Chains A and B, each alone.
Chain A
């Protein structure tokens, strides 16, 4: 007996050691034991999606916050629900409030291993590096779709697709509506952080407003993080004190901004999802994501046997109003006919593809020319995704 060698250990010590080993194994989720077997099942299932038929397919969605936050997560959750309702062969698994830490890697792993998910939508920006990258390398047969423009051809695993919308087009139309509804064209924008996506929304909102009222200004307040309800409320209150008439935002959940604006008798335009219920008097319109159309198309492609790793689905999916990646909320009661007309005209130009938001000769709010004259930047232009300036008419930095 090998235990003879350890006879000088007390029984208590042996039991302790056994317990500790068990606990360690449990917390590590028997990682080494599970992974290979899961990979073989995934490998066996890899061929089946192409077979079609009514075979059920598990699709996983992971959100960084609650699913009904009137914001980013709700927009995605609505899309997830829509595809689950539409296609009876989809089995939807969801997990909300997953932080951008190794927690998301564990969520993905259990969705794949336990629920047998073949397609994953980890929706938050910060999930990508390193969590999605690691999981995608580990499970080459599972397709990962990430919402943001971070995918790099050749660098990242082939089974990752990225999709993102030019929602600043909708912000442009909202800017037109806001400027024409207000008397003084003093607009406000509550931003979380000065990163390119936020700056682009601020700029497009402002350019939309200035396209119909050249004297329009947008006061920007950055709160510093994606969800700081108290700061967001303070920001809207300070804007109200400064006589700003219309406020919009780019934060995770616009609920506080909309409700505070309504309390202060301001107008507001929404973001992420439809917030008219929060501000029935002051809600003008809003820039909403339309993930339902994007997810429907993706799932139809996958059902037809296409996959992102075989190249049947492009790695980078982008689109704006025209492609159904985003949409406008219905106009609120306060919007005058003239504003509706101008906004509809702008929208029509996006729909036929003739609209250019970032025209050559554009100046930033320091008076510096940021786009050379004659060098119009189309929406698809990669330069716009590195935006680090605020255009003329924006107050703030």
Chain B
């Protein structure tokens, strides 16, 4: 069927464009949560509670942005709320004989519960969203302009990834975190406080995850509802594993996931009718596939912090 060729009709080009746009729009929360989890896990602790942190961050950002009229204050509030949850997790998970995975699951429930409870009055109002950076103004095609209207948070996340890599590789503080994560006994011998380092790592990770939540509620999709995260926090935690605890690979993996989320709707819009449930499941299938590809019974994962998930 040939529609009157309006300039804005993209046809099949819409699919790669949607994936590209999805990478930047949908990938941002993945990026922040996975970078945050990367810091946390490097220190030898797991924080599954980032799903709850993501929701609390999304709620606080939306609420503060609505109440003060300043989305940037909202972003800050999201980070601070993340710090709050991080402090709880960091303290609880380091108590003797406390399992950090179990605490994490409790924190998912606590974080989402508190977000739902405090977020009730903010479902209906519209909060001012974050401004976007228009990289697509050179193009006369509105679709391209819309796809390239990227969030400053995305730029921030992309900048943090290499910074974090440098931090782990070349700084003294990065070394502390790695030492605590790989060999707590050696770290202790070096005179580092394991408790403090892990606490700071968990808190920093939660701070980033909270900002990831702000990107959900203040940029894309730009609303606060109870279903806003739909498991993205947990997926981002899994994503750290196949990014092999490498911040740069977290970046690529987040982009991949963001793009995969856009695949289902984009294919339907160009008339691919069959199997949209399958395409909608693309991010999850991708998770499984990469897990299978990167796991081998013969060797352990490279890059895994030595003390991750152990009791000391």
Please give the residue numbers on chain A whose beta carbons come within 8 Å of chain B beta carbons, in ascending order.
Answer: 65-66, 68-70, 74, 97, 184, 186, 217, 219-224, 227-235, 237-244, 253, 255-256, 259-260, 263-265, 277-278, 395-397
| Cα–Cα, bound, A222→B143 (Å) | 21
With contact pairs A66-B226, A234-B18, A240-B146 given, residues A224 and B277 touching in the complex (Cβ less than 8 Å): yes
Interface flag for B135 (CB, 8 Å):
no
Interface flag for B188 (CB, 8 Å):
no
Q: B11-47 toward A: CB 8 Å interface, digit per residue (1/0)?
A: 1001001100110011000000000000000000000
Residues on B with beta carbons closer than 8 Å to the beta carbon of A235: 265, 268-269
Residues on A with beta carbons closer than 8 Å to the beta carbon of B25: 233
Asked if B3 and A243 make an inter-chain contact with CB atoms under 8 angstroms apart, the answer reads yes
Asked if B268 and A241 make an inter-chain contact with CB atoms under 8 angstroms apart, the answer reads no
With contact pairs A224-B276, A238-B269 given, residues A66 and B120 touching in the complex (Cβ less than 8 Å): yes
Given A231-B265, A242-B270, 15 more pairs with CB closer than 8 A: A68-B123, A69-B124, A97-B226, A221-B269, A221-B276, A223-B265, A227-B227, A228-B230, A233-B220, A234-B18, A235-B269, A237-B18, A239-B269, A243-B9, A395-B271
Residues on B with beta carbons closer than 8 Å to the beta carbon of A278: 126
Asked if A221 and B268 make an inter-chain contact with CB atoms under 8 angstroms apart, the answer reads yes
Asked if B225 and A255 make an inter-chain contact with CB atoms under 8 angstroms apart, the answer reads yes
Give min CB distance, A171 to chain B, whole Å.
Answer: 20
Interface flag for B222 (CB, 8 Å):
yes
Give the most central of B17, B22, B123, B143: most A CB within 10 Å: B123
Asked if B276 and A230 make an inter-chain contact with CB atoms under 8 angstroms apart, the answer reads no
| Cα–Cα, bound, A109→B8 (Å) | 56
Report which of A221, A230, A234 forms a contact with B230, defined as CB distance below 8 A: A230
Please give the residue numbers on chain B whose beta carbons come within 8 Å of chain A beta carbons, in ascending order.
Answer: 1, 3-4, 6, 8-11, 14, 17-18, 21-22, 25-26, 116, 120, 123-124, 126, 142-143, 146-147, 220-223, 225-228, 230, 232, 261-262, 264-266, 268-271, 273-274, 276-277, 280
Residues on A with beta carbons closer than 8 Å to the beta carbon of B280: 223-224, 231
Residues on A with beta carbons closer than 8 Å to the beta carbon of B230: 228-230
Report which of A68, A233, A238, A263 forms a contact with B14, defined as CB distance below 8 A: A238
Report which of A74, A240, A395 forms a contact with B143, defined as CB distance below 8 A: A240
Asked if B3 and A184 make an inter-chain contact with CB atoms under 8 angstroms apart, the answer reads yes
With contact pairs A219-B269, A235-B268 given, residues A229 and B221 touching in the complex (Cβ less than 8 Å): yes
A-B contact pairs, 19 of them (CB 8 A): A66-B123, A66-B225, A220-B268, A222-B276, A223-B265, A230-B220, A230-B221, A231-B280, A234-B22, A238-B262, A239-B269, A241-B8, A241-B14, A241-B143, A242-B9, A243-B8, A259-B126, A260-B222, A263-B146
